[in-house]
Structures are given as structure tokens and as C-alpha cells.
Structure 1
Amino acid sequence: MCGRYASFREDQAIEDEFAIATVADDARLLPPSWNVAPTDGVRMVVERADRDTGEVTRQLRVAHWGLVPSWAKDPSIGNRMINARRESLTDKPAFARPFGLRRAILPADGYFEWQALPPVPGQPKARRRKQPFYLHPADGDVLALAGLYEFWKDPSKADDDPSRWLVSVTIVTRPADPRFAAIHDRQPLLLRPEDWDAWLDPAVDAEAARALLEAPGPELVATPVSTAVNAVQNNGPELVQPVDPASDPAGDVDDSQVRDSA
């Protein structure tokens, strides 16, 4: 976890929920998704200082899912950094600095996990049968996935090229709630509304933010959903609708399709 999630709530609802002051143009243009996947552009809530006034404002921006450290030679490293374990945030150079300076929230409606099923005799080891579940708040509230973001400058582009900067983000993960550990042993770090301000505040340093890593998350329910979510090209409201696993038997899942990272 976390390898897929759903984010289909309208921008205005996110603005109201998180008290956002500024929405970037590309955030307004980003369509809803019921199957957000690594390397996608994703919406994130951040607090940044205005270049001209220095005033810190809460903003909705778009970032590339897969953190690219500022010191990376090329952006491909981000493919391996979609998640950051909370247990080792301060030990890994790629995550330690953004944890202290650049924390974000990724608004979500829910996220997906795949429960590994007993192997079928004769099944290749590279493929495993899995049942997807959609984990979401029972009351339909927004989920706040804890994230870290970073800026990477493309050395091959000119300083006046507006595309020279890549903004990327990773999702912080933690051990799964015991109720859902049978589905998967990891889950995203989910922040309650009372912790949003401190997590986003750039004046809160890593030491002060450490306590937020242990804060309890919201109550969730796990709903079995169609194996159609296995394929990233499938994207629609039907992916989050409950199904009877007996009528939609779990199929073989290629490990390259469903990531079980961090």
C-alpha cells in the first residue's frame, strides 16, 4: 500500500473541506478518477509562501505521484517512491527533508487493496489470485492521505522553461489497522481533520510533526469490488460499487499491475 486510490470529489467540495485559498489552473483541469495510479497527476493540498508577499496560503495543486528527490539524476527514480514508510521517514534522505519542510494532503474518497487468496495448484508464482477491496469512510467523508512533496529541476531544460520544474509527491504508509490486516499489512497514513493544520504548516518541523505519525485515523469500511479495477485503463464509478465475490471471482493479478510497495 498504497498503489491505487479514488479521488472523484468536485474541486469546490475539496476547497470548502480544506479551507483552500488558491486553486492552481491544472488542478481545476484534472478530471475525477476512480482509479488513480502511480505516475498519474494527483491533487494535493499544501501550504506555501507567496513569492511576492511571503504570505503562507493553503493551495490545491497537482503533483506527479512518485517522489523525485531534488538530487536525482533523472525522474525515473520516482517510480520506486510512490510510498514512504512512516517508520523510516527520517532515515531515508529522499524523505527526511520533505518530512520536515514539505508535507501535503492528498484528498481521496477511498483507496484500494488486494487480498491475496490461496494459490491455485499449478499457478505460476509470478501471478497471484487477489480480491480487490475499496476502503472508505462509512459516512462518505473525505479522506486525507498524508503525503510529502518535492521539487526537481530538469537539468536539460533552460531556466526560463516553465516545464523545467517537476513537482512530485509520495504517500506515507503505516502498518494496517488490525481489522484490515488480513486484506493487506500496510495502509496509507490517514489524518483526522484536527491534525490537518499541523501537518500542512511549514513552520511545524519534523520533530513536532513526528507525533502526527501516530495519530489515530478515521473509521473505515472495506467493500469487495470488481476485479475491473485491476486494469489501470478502467476508470469509472462502477469500480467502487460493491460486488459479491462469488459472482465476480478474483482473477490472476500480475505483480506489475498491482503494486504492494511500502
Structure 2
Amino acid sequence: MCGRYASFRDAQDLSDDLALAEIAEDARLLPPSWNVAPTDPVRIVVERPRRLEGGSTGEITRTLQLARWGLVPSWAKDPSVGARMINARSETLLDKPAFAKPLAVRRCLLPADGYYEWRRLELPPDAPARAGSKAKVPKQPYWIHPDDGGLAALAGLYEFWRDRSKADDDPDRWLVSATVVTTAASPDLERIHDRMPVILPRGAWDAWLDPAVGAEQAMGLVTGPQVAMATRPVGDAVGSVQNNRPSLIEADPDPRDPDVVTAGGA
């Protein structure tokens, strides 16, 4: 799964890298984060028709928007379901109602600098058990990022949810939410975790965002080539959402993992 990632690039840098036509003001003002967690506000890149005066629509425009991490289907009774839908398994995208329609018409990119994953380690034979429970399994957090230092464009889906308790003229009546598409881990990363986010190469961005591209063709991008990633063991501080600072991605000087997983560069 993908449960934590980092997105700390300036909005203007993203604009240049992703060829954005517009940046929503709330997306521009979102501060950098080295510890993005479920239900946090996140930046998403979408392509939608430009809204014109009078309710008509214009040309397709690529924009940076703000969303909440955790997809809330349009038919959900309340937005709390989003906390359980931060990821969308690629194997079920075409089958699950919550994902099938967004896959066809509402795909997005979540710009990131990398993501975190925890590797389960062997339990020491002499590990003491806590009262009434088994011994806690040790884990080593890893910072996983593009080998070339470039942008990690996470494949995502987004959705609109209408809060029926709010008036038609209330600007907060609509919630935009998003989920990260995941897949089986690549051979060099499966020793850390069996799942990973789908990170699309630059050549796939346009097709993934293009609303004219159908679900079947989009699935070909999900199962196609991905970006080469590098790994680095990091400290336990990232495990708490209260911690959010650049040092979270620095190498752990004394990793507890006896067999540190290395992939790509440092």
C-alpha cells in the first residue's frame, strides 16, 4: 500500500515540470510536506474543460487542484469512507464501482517527491512479549524515491462528493477527493513491501490525464513501465504524523534492518 508520501516542491516548479496551464490558489498555498498522511489535503493534476461564464465549458485545461486524500464515492452517505480508500488496487480498478467510473473519466496525478514504506523484520527469538499480547514485530521505514531525483507522478483517481446538508450556494458543498493507484511491487522493491504506488514515467502523463482516453487504454498505462526507484532506510520519526520536517528523508545512521534493501542510487 501507499500510506505516507512526501510532496515538497514549489508549485511553480510543478507547473514547469507538468506543463500546467493554471494553479488553483488553495493548491498554490498548500505548504510543503515531508509526511503526507491519509485525509490530508493534497495537490492533484487534472485535465478538465475550462468553466466559462453562463455555465458553458471551454477547452480542456491542465490544472493543479486541491483534494483530500482518500476517495469518497459520489454515492457515499458521508465522507468518512474516504479514510479507508486512500489506495485503489490496480487489479480491481475495472470491477469496483467506486473506482470504475473515475478510471474512465476522472484520472489524476498526485505529484510527489517519494513515498515511505515499512519493512517487517524478523522477530528476535528472545524478544519479550507485552502483557496479554505477542511481541511487537520490528519494522524498518524506508524512503523510496525516483532514482534520477525527478518527480514521482503517482497515478490517481479523483471524485466529487456533494454534501446534501449544505445549501446550493455554499462553496463547501462539494468535496474533491483522490486515491493512489497501487500495484504489485517491482522485483527490487518487493523485499520491502509487496505493494507499491503506480509511478508513471513522463511519457505516460499525457495519456493518463487525457479524458478522451478510455478505461481499457488507461489500464495499459497502469501495467506498463514505471519509474526506476532508489531506497534509503530512514528513522522512526516518520511513523508519527506529528513529525513533518526535511530530516525525515535523511538516512538512518543506525538502521535496525540487518539486511538493508538497496535499489538504485542513495
Out of 103, 109, 115, the position equivalent to 2:107 is: 103
Out of 162, 168, 181, the position equivalent to 2:171 is: 162
Correspondence for 2:154: 145
Q: What TM-score results when the alignment is normalised by the length of structure 1? A: 0.92
> d(CA) in 2 for partners of 1:9 and 1:184?
26
SS at match of 2:58: coil
Q: What TM-score results when the alignment is normalised by the length of structure 2? A: 0.90
SS at match of 1:207: helix
Q: Deviations over 1:157-190 (max 9, x none)?
A: 0110000000000000000011111100000001
The offset of 1:126, in angstroms, is 8.3
SS at match of 2:200: coil
> d(CA) in 2 for partners of 1:41 and 1:170?
12
> d(CA) in 1 for partners of 2:135 and 2:60?
48
What 5-or-longer segments of structure 2 have no aligned partner?
258-266
> d(CA) in 1 for partners of 2:79 and 2:16?
33
Structure 1 segments (4+ residues) deviating >6 Å: none
Q: Deviations over 1:57-113 (max 9, x none)?
A: 000001000000000000011011000000010110000000000000000000000
> d(CA) in 2 for partners of 1:153 and 1:164?
6
> d(CA) in 2 for partners of 1:46 and 1:126?
45
| Greater RCO (Cα-Cα under 8 Å, separation 6 or more) | 1
Correspondence for 2:189: 180
Correspondence for 2:38: 38
Correspondence for 2:203: 194
AA in 1 matched with 2:93: L
AA in 2 matched with 1:62: L
SS at match of 1:140: coil
The offset of 1:119, in angstroms, is 2.3
Correspondence for 1:25: 25
Out of 78, 81, 88, the position equivalent to 2:85 is: 81
Correspondence for 1:122: 128
Q: Deviations over 1:174-233 (max 9, x none)?
A: 000111111000000010000000000011111221211111111111100011101011
Correspondence for 2:263: none
Query: RMSD of the TM alignment (CA)?
Result: 1.3
AA in 2 matched with 1:175: A
Question: For the Cα contact (< 8 Å) 1:224–1:245, is it kept in 2?
Answer: no
AA in 2 matched with 1:14: L
The offset of 1:138, in angstroms, is 2.4
Identity of paired residues, percent?
60
